[in-house]
A and B are shown apart, each in its own frame.
Chain A
Amino acid sequence: MSETALFIKGVDKFYGPIDHGVHAVKQLNMDVKKGEIIALLGSSGCGKTSTLRMIAGFEAVSRGTISMKGREVQTFAPVKRNVAMAFEGYSLYPPLTVRENIAFALKASRLSQSVVDEKVANIAKLLEIEDIMGRYPSSISGGQQQRASLGRALIRDADLHLLDEPMGQLEPQLRALLRGRIKHFIKERGLTAILVTHDQTEANALADRIAVMEGGVLQQFDTPQMIKERPANLFTGTFVGEPPMNVFSAGISGTSDTVSFGLNEGVKLDYKASDFSHAVRAELMKRSKVVLGIRPYAVRRSEGGVGAKVAVNQWLGDQTHIAADFAGGTMVLVEHDRTNLTIGETVAIRLDPSSLHVFDGDNGRAISHGQELA
Chain B
Amino acid sequence: MTTLQLKNITKRYKTNPVLDNLSLDVADGETLVLFGPSGAGKTVLLRLVAGVIDPDEGQILIGGEDVSDIDAEYRGIGMAFQNFALFPHMSAFDNIASPLTATNATKDVISAGVLKVAKLLKIDHVLTHHPKALSNGQKQRTALARALAGSPPLLLLDDPLRNVDAKLRFEMRLELPRLLAAQGATVVYVTQDYKEAMALGDRIAVMSQGRIRQIGTPEDIYNTPADIEIARLFGDPTINLLDVTPKSGPDGVYVELSNVKVPLPGMPASVVGKTSVIGLRPETIVFTDAGASGAIPVTVEAETPLNEKTVTLVLTARGREILVSRPAGTPGPTSGPAHIAVHGNTTFLFDKESGGLIRSAAIPMTRNGEAA
Contact = CB atoms under 8 A, between A and B. Distances in A.
A and B touch in the complex (CB under 8 A): yes
Interface of A: 43, 172-177, 179-181, 183-184, 187, 198-201, 204-206, 224, 238-239, 242-244, 295-297, 311-312, 314-319, 321, 323, 330, 332, 334, 336
B165 A198 contact: yes
Given A198-B165, A205-B306, A180 B323 contact: yes
B238 A173 contact: yes
B302 interface: yes
27 contacts: A173-B232, A176-B238, A176-B304, A176-B323, A180-B304, A180-B311, A205-B311, A239-B167, A242-B166, A242-B308, A243-B307, A297-B327, A312-B178, A314-B174, A314-B177, A315-B199, A315-B218, A317-B194, A317-B283, A318-B281, A318-B325, A319-B307, A319-B308, A321-B174, A321-B199, A336-B283, A336-B309
Nearest to B176: A312
Nearest to B303: A180
Contact of B327 (A173, A198, A314, A336): A336
Given A176-B306, A198-B165, A314-B199, A330 B238 contact: no
Contacts of B166: 199-200, 242
A243 B327 CA distance: 14
B198 A317 contact: yes
Contacts of A323: 174
A73 to B, nearest CB: 31
Contact of A183 (B200, B283, B304, B309): B304
Given A201-B306, A204-B306, A205-B304, A317 B321 contact: no
A3 B26 CA distance: 63
Q: Which one of B236, B238, B308 has the greatest number of beta carbons of chain A within 10 Å?
A: B308
Nearest to A44: B165
B308 A297 contact: yes
Contacts of A198: 165
B230 to A, nearest CB: 12
B244 to A, nearest CB: 19
A340 to B, nearest CB: 11
Contact of B222 (A187, A224, A317): A317
Interface in B309-325: 309, 311, 313, 321, 323, 325
Nearest to B218: A315
Contact of A181 (B177, B313, B327, B329): B313
Given A180-B321, A183-B304, A319-B308, 16 more contacts: A43-B165, A174-B238, A180-B301, A204-B306, A205-B311, A297-B328, A312-B178, A314-B173, A314-B198, A315-B198, A317-B235, A318-B282, A318-B325, A319-B309, A323-B174, A336-B283
